[in-house]
Structure 1
Amino acid sequence: MPDMNNGALDIRQLEAFVAVMSAGSITGAARLLDRSQPAVTRQIRDLEAEIGYELLHRSGPRISPTPRGVLFHVQVERLFFGLKHIRERAAAIGAGALPAIELAATPALAAGIVPDALAAMDPALLPRQIHIEALSAEGVVQQVLSQSADFGLATLPIEHPGLDVHWIGEAPCLAAMAESDPLASLDVVALADLAARRVITMANPYRLRRRVDEAFAAAGIAPRELIDANASLTALALARRGLGIAIIEPAAACGLPIKGVVLRPLDVTIPFLFGAISPVARPLTPSIAALNEALLKSAAALIPGFVLRDAAGTEMLADAVYGAADNQEARS
């Protein structure tokens, strides 16, 4: 394998690889880059020779990424994303303008409360460039830890020594259903009402899904059928089509209401917990500080039953997230 420490990778080779991954073919990549097809082919082969492994499977005119190619593409995309933002920040510094805002948030929070928060901010504090990346909660944490994002909104748990937690919000989950569903006539939906129904819930077993499962177990109920999804908007869309009753976090459900979907409180409290984070000991710019305040106000205004929790009360918070018994065992 070549020693890559002997020289830097060629940016044109990396551009060719990213273009091939985006277009799905050498021909398409050549069009995107305004280069000849032989030039793109040569650049990909030179890149493979430099790093010491194949990035693409070739079968006649058809290509597909190798497993290593998929992993390498993630790293290259991150590099290009960072270079783009460096150019923008350099231009802002040169112009004496506000630095760009790099915000990472889970899809539910990005769609549910971020738009209202940005709309409520003083326009003088909004930079020309605002980047919003919707990621898993784990992805949000990693982006903030690596300082690829200035600020993040993620569901709990988010405890990490590399993070400053600015505030934590809690609100009860809701039941979402088609407006034609018989349960839509109720003021409150009981978990017992869902025993014979298909339930739609979240897939991640370490966050909201865990609390949903614990609520059913405590009530002695096992849903007859289950659909899980990795995004709240998907769960709401499934509920709208009458495919089941969704137990949903309230941020997306209330911040981005969907026509044909009815929301009802549950007879038990299933807490949805989320927080605002930034890299530890990194002062907030005036724009980020204003965004932080606007996000908190937006969450309080949009989400029914929103309660501000003590971000410093990590032990109490861990009990709320994982269950007191689990955490007592972990601490003993």
Structure 2
Amino acid sequence: MELKQLEAFLAVLSAGSITAAARLLDRSQPAVSRLIQELESDIGFELLHRNGPRITPTERGIRFHAEAERLVTGIGRLHERAKAIAAEEALPIEIVAIPAFAAGFVPKALSRMPQQALPSRLHLRSAPAESGIQSVLARTADLCVVSLPAEQPGLETHVLAQAPCVAAVATSDPLARKEVVSIADLMGRSLITMANPFRLRRRVDQALEAHGIQASKVIDTNAAMIALQLTACGAGVAIIEPVTAYGVALKGVEIRPLDVNIPFLWGVFSAVSRPLPETARAFIHQFIETTASAIPGLVEHDPRRADLVTDAIFGAGAHNRAGAA
């Protein structure tokens, strides 16, 4: 198995055809076809279904794609680090963050760092919490900024914080005239919330149930930015985490505190026993300052007591279930 074979396979799936992949790679179409065939011979199974000019990945090809992409990306990052070491420059850093942070506070923190403190290469990737954690554990990312729970073995906690969820309402909504939105105000309204039942959605549902709130309609989504867009379009009132609410301004949407505390918890993690580049540590420091100054009600916890915080919010033994979340 050779790197050029993997690159040819990734190019085909990215471009959608061997002809387009050949243009991307500046190779001939027969050369790309040959590389794919050699790769299939090396690994012992077909990667592509071929039907004339139409190319689609096999089921095994789809599974193999993720592994190949991770390896090729990792080799690219290795080249970057080798160049930085040779030039005695700051090492590149890779940050994986859930969309709530990747769209707002991570870029803000980076922009407030002295430019000379940043490496010439910096990678910011948006991914679900579970993927961010696995990237750190697999050593394909230096840091992840994710929501809790996150108690997998092998993680070192650098930041552990929480803040209350908020209501997002359209500017034209009568609730926008209130300083604080009562949970009772949501009775009979169309509500917008998160889809993942193992994270924020569970606590939102518990709060609504505890106060006997019945929505006329519930719309769920996998990203708070989408919830804000739905709110701006008049689809309903959103109960969202404070990170997106205060990190990304959206015209036509007003953010109001709720009269009940629905906690949203997050942390910054790296792999245990993996020394962080100085630039990564500088980012963590700036990130703490940026979020603390912008999110009302933010509380920082002792990173060494992540298990106790998780139990207090999610219930005893929750940190043992984090891997399933």
Q: Residue 94 of structure 2 aligns with which residue?
A: 102
Percent of residue pairs bearing the same amino acid type: 51
> Shift of the alpha carbon at 1:161?
2.6
- 1:5 aligns with none
Instruction: Tell me which amino acid in the other structure corresponds to 2:278.
Output: P
SS in structure 1 of the partner of residue 19 of structure 2:
helix
Q: In the alignment, residue 10 of structure 1 is paired with which amino acid?
A: E
How far does residue 49 in structure 1 lie from its aligned partner after superposition?
Answer: 2.1
The structure 1 residue matched to 2:303, chosen from 293, 303, 311, is 311
- Give the CA deviation at 1:327: 5.4
For 2:312 and 2:212, the matched residues in 1 are separated by 21
Partner of 2:185: 193
Report which stretch shifted further, 184-193 or 138-147.
184-193
Q: Does the alignment pair 1:149 with 2:149?
A: no
SS at match of 1:210: helix
- Provide the rounded CA distance (Å) in 1 between the counterparts of 2:169 and 2:58: 42
Deviation of 1:282 after TM superposition, in Å, equals 2.6
Matches of 2:10 and 2:320, distance apart in 1: 48
**Aligned counterpart, 1:68:** 60
2:49 aligned to which of 57, 67, 90: 57
Gaps of 5+ in 2: none
Distance 1:56 1:119 in 2: 43
Query: Is 1:18 the equivalent of 2:5?
Result: no
Give the match for residue 6 of structure 1. Answer: none
Cα distance in 2 between the residues matched to 1:157 and 1:166: 15
Flag structure 1 segments of 5+ consecutive residues without an equivalent: 1-8
CA drift at 1:320: 3.4
Q: 2:114 aligns with which of 122, 136, 147?
A: 122
Matched AA of 1:219: H
The equivalent residue for 2:264 is: 272
Structure 1 consecutive aligned stretches of length 4 or more whose deviation exceeds 4 Å: 326-330
Q: Is the 8 A contact 1:103 1:152 kept in 2?
A: yes
For residues 202 and 69 of structure 2, what CA distance do their matches in structure 1 show? 33
- CA 1:120 to 1:10, structure 2 compared with 1: closer, same or farther past 3 Å? same
Equivalent in the alignment of 2:224: 232
Cα drift, residue 284 of structure 1: 2.9
1:10 Cα deviation (Å)? 2.1
How many residues get paired?
Answer: 321
**Partner deviation per Cα, 1:175-234 (whole Å, 9 max, x = no partner):** 112111222122221222222122111111111111111111111223221111111111
Displacement of 1:329 after TM fit?
12
Matches within 5 A, 1:249-268: 249-268=241-260
Amino acid at match of 1:125: A
How does 1:195-234 map onto structure 2 within 5 Å? 195-234=187-226
| Offset at residue 328 of structure 1 (A) | 12
Q: Give the Cα–Cα distance (whole angstroms) in 2 for the partners of residues 63 and 229 of structure 1.
A: 32
Letter in 1 for 2:11: A
Equivalent of 1:288, from 277, 280, 289?
280
